Structure 1
Amino acid sequence: MPKLWTNSGDSHFLEPEDLWESRLPRRLAALTPKAAKDPDGEYETVHVDGQSFRRKLPTSAAVTFLEESRKAAGIRDAGLRLGDLDQEGVWAEVIFPSLGMWASTFRTPELLKACMRASNEWALEEVASVSDRYVVTAQVSTLTVEDAVSELEWAAEQGFKAVFLPTRPHPSAPDWHRNEWEPFWAAAERASMVLAIHIGTDPVDFTSERVGVAYRGPGGAVMNYTETTFSGQRAAMKLVASGALDRHPDLKVLISEGGATWIPFLGDRMREGYRQHRMAVRPELKRDPKDILMTQVYASFQHDESAVAAFDAMGYRNVMFGSDYPHMEGTYGHTQDTLKQLFDGVSEETRLRITQGAFLELFPHVPPVPVGEPV
């Protein structure tokens, strides 16, 4: 069968571990995360921004899982990455960072702002410059709103088209539904910057031995994996219910890797809450909450058969495929098999909208699949 080409609303890149330390002034570089294994071999001591804590090292199974997801050559090399994409039939992709997972541990605004700028400059030099098929997400400090606005405006001037946001901001900052973030939403709308929110990125408490673990016991692995999807749904709910998207109708949001079928359901639930509890609703919205969610929020998935039905049967047009390259939950190594299973017997209109159309609606600057290539 001919290759089916797709764009991807979700992929990842692994930055050099010393990126921040190598690019920051010495006094700030000394505060960036550093870890040393304890003599017992089961724990490590982490020093970051004047704080120190011990944490249990991952199990051998978890380490193996992580290492397997990093074997793809293109996770560290943007040039080699194009070969991986061509092999898989992925044309263009949204690329999320990896090092930024430490952002929630910082407490000094100057340090976090400097780290985000260093990451953005590196991404421009080492990834974005390699190919216009890459939609690299900018990073901003969410410790203070002012710093976030400043970095977003700088990133837009440099050509970034999307900004990565965690599902919740820094623990010391107001949550996304608070009015303090209004200047940021306004700045993003002015810059036509897509808010790219990746599931499972709530601030991490690295002092806990239960990092990434909500459940233990029977079914724990499946429940912990499933749990990560809910953070993206909560972020979308906050942006709609707070009126942020209603006030900024040109602002677009991408929730990556969390599936798509939840959008119509969440819209129904929010519509019901708005209607049945109207006397307590603040703020009042100019538009129906479900309509806001269905039109301004895009959602990427990788394996979910129900996501195709969300487009065909539920009227949700902003469904977008995402390969999650190169994570083990993704489709790397079997993207073509996955696409052919998902779209077997599906109309060409549906397939093209999910694989290419929704992506190009968010990122019209990306060149389409070349004429003559199978689509």
Structure 2
Amino acid sequence: MSMEKIWANSGDSHFLEPESLWRDNLPKRLSELVPRAEKDADGEWESVHIDGMSFRRKIPTGRAREFLDASHRAPGAGDIAKRIPDLDQEGIWGEVVFPSLGMWSSSFRTPEVLREALRVSNDWAFEEIEKYSPRMVTTAQVSTLDIGDAVAELERVAEMGYRAVFMPTTPHPLQKDYNRDEWEPFWTAAERAGIVVAFHIGTDPVDLSAGGSAGMVYRGPGGAVLNYTETTFSGQRAVMKMVASGALDRHPGLRVLVSEGGATWVPFVADRMEEGYRQHQMAVRPKLKRSPKEIIYSQVYASFQHDESAIAAMTAMGFNNVMWGSDYPHLEGTYGHTQETLHGLFDEVDAAVRERITVGAFQELFPQVPPLPVTA
């Protein structure tokens, strides 16, 4: 007997934009500064050039290398017309869509180049993805190199109709961190526009000029698992900064999503911050109108894909903003085995809990997405 299909909304997915999107749509003086890669003759290494910097990196091997080859990707990874059939097959209804080119944002040094490149991305994604289906919640991109640019672009994309903005878990290394008052105009603009601030894990800045690469912190024994686990922590730090600095307390209408980082960390971080706030009152600045735990539980949402423990964050720890996500089409995602994953997670779970995690939390953040049809 075939399993009954479990339908779910996804709080995490990605789209591969055309590789030449920035080069084709920026003036020549700017297009020369956007990322480009040149492979060596042996196909093992490549030189990457970006904003006046160059470095060499080893081309991924194994399944990671296959993902870079279009013939091995999920059909809808970079083709919106093929994406909806992929989602229907997997049992995914609505989804939050993060960019791919935007992962280079922290590597730029010239504010004008980054501002204009992200503007191109936002115009393209809105026309090609957001407008294609009301099931898509495309995340806009803003510069974290210049906060004034970020505010201006946030207001522009909000006017266009964007409902979420992708933010790296740590801002550009040349900019102030998220707990500083300089970011207050941005939080104010996001709350006013009703735009969800969507952090995606693994987006800390990387010093590319020193040969660094995204997600590479550890080398040697256990490096692959260590690096994969390490990516989850940056999302936690982003939330901590927004809570401790009072940003979320001052903006109770602002909602934050941390995608792909699991959910059981939320109760732990909330309890830890609660203890710190209580036990170190004499040193705490600023003072908050609400407790850290109340702020986090009411304004922070967290998505996971495989973690069995994430369900316990709701059922045993009282954190109700748990959201499932497929991470389509990435290697660590559920594409090809989504139904197996969902049944493994939810077959023995109370129906109300399952509905909240697979459908309800997403709909709460993005009510504009049409509800799952009864006939699906």
Counterparts of residues 236-315 of structure 1 (less than 5 Å):
236-315=239-318
Aligned with 1:207: secondary structure?
Answer: helix
Identity of aligned residues (%): 64
Q: Is the 8 A contact 2:46 2:59 kept in 1?
A: no
Could you tell me which residue of structure 2 aligns to residue 113 of structure 1?
115
Shift in CA distance, 91/59, structure 1 to aligned 2, threshold 3 Å:
closer
| 2: CA distance, partners of 1:40 / 1:355 | 46
Q: Which residue of 2 aligns with 1:19?
A: 21
SS at match of 2:59: coil
| Letter in structure 2 aligned against 1:223 | L
What is the Cα deviation at residue 104 of structure 1? 1.2
> 2:104 is paired with a residue of what secondary structure?
helix
Distance 1:328 1:35 in 2: 22
* Cα contact 1:93–1:133 (8 A) shared by 2: yes
Structure 1 residues 30-88: Cα deviation after superposition (integer angstroms, max 9, x where no partner): 22122223567654333222x23222222433752533796101011111100000000
Q: Would you say the 8 A contact 2:66–2:73 is kept in 1?
A: no
Q: SS in structure 2 opposite 1:163?
A: strand
Q: Aligned residue for 1:335?
A: 338
Q: What amino acid maps onto 2:306 in structure 1? A: H
Q: Which moved more, 1:208-217 or 1:269-278?
A: 208-217
Asked if structure 1 preserves the Cα contact closer than 8 Å seen for 2:47 and 2:57, the reply is no
Aligned to 2:366: 363
Range with bigger deviation, 247-256 or 38-47: 38-47
Counterpart CA distance in 2 for 1:213 and 1:41 is 21
The DSSP-based 3-state class of the residue aligned with 2:174 is coil
**Equivalent position to 2:162, from 142, 160, 163:** 160
Show CA shifts across 1:164-201 (max 9, x none).
00001111110111100000000000000000000000
1:61–1:345 Cα change, 3 Å: closer
Q: Report SS of the residue matched to 2:226.
A: helix
TM-score (norm 1): 0.96
Distance 2:338 2:43 in 1: 38
Structure 2 residue runs without a partner (length 5+): none
> Which whole-Å deviations, capped at 9, do the CAs of 1:318-356 have from their partners, x for residues lacking one?
000000001111111111111111112211100000000
User: 1:111: how far off?
Assistant: 1.0
Residue equivalent to 2:134: 132
**Equivalent pair of 1:9/1:321 in contact (CA under 8 Å):** yes
Alignment: residue pair count:
372
**What is the correspondence of 1:27-46 to structure 2 with a 5 Å cutoff?**
27-38=29-40, 42-46=44-48
- Partner of 1:57 in structure 2? 58
Q: Is the contact made by 1:43 and 1:54 (CA closer than 8 Å) also made in structure 2? A: no
Q: What residue identity is the alignment partner of 1:366? A: V
1:179 aligns with 2:181: yes
Instruction: After TM superposition, give the deviation of residue 110 of structure 1 in Å.
Output: 1.2
Distance 1:354 1:41 in 2: 43
Checking the alignment, whether the CA contact within 8 Å between 2:64 and 2:331 is kept in structure 1 is no
Q: Which amino acid aligns with 1:313?
A: A
8 A contact 1:68–1:328 mirrored in 2: no
Matched, 1:148 2:140: no
CA deviation vs aligned residue, 1:278-326 (integer Å, no higher than 9, x gap): 1111111000001111110000000011111111111000000000001
Q: What SS does the aligned partner of 2:197 have?
A: strand
Which amino acid counterpart does residue 282 of structure 2 have in structure 1? M
Alignment check: 8 A CA contact 2:43 2:59 kept: no
SS in 1 for 2:319: coil
Q: Answer yes or no: is the 8 Å Cα contact 2:63–2:331 preserved in 1.
A: no
1:237-294 per-position Cα deviation (integer Å, ceiling 9, x unaligned): 1111110000000000000000000000000000000111111111110000011111
User: Which residue does the alignment assign to 2:68?
Assistant: 67
Q: Distance in 2 between matches of 1:326 and 1:63?
A: 12
Structure 2 counterpart of 1:83, from 82, 85, 88: 85
Could you tell me whether the CA contact under 8 Å between 1:55 and 1:207 is conserved in 2?
A: no
Q: Which residue of 2 aligns with 1:223?
A: 226
> TM-score, length-normalised on structure 2?
0.96
Residue 204 of structure 1 deviates from its aligned partner by: 1.9
Contact 2:346–2:354 under 8 Å retained in 1: yes
Rounded to whole Å, the distance in 1 between the matches of 2:92 and 2:49 is 39
**1:272/1:83 Cα in 2 relative to 1: closer, same or farther (>3 Å)?**
same
Structure 1: how far apart are the matches of 2:97 and 2:139?
6
Alignment partner, residue 316 of structure 1 = 319
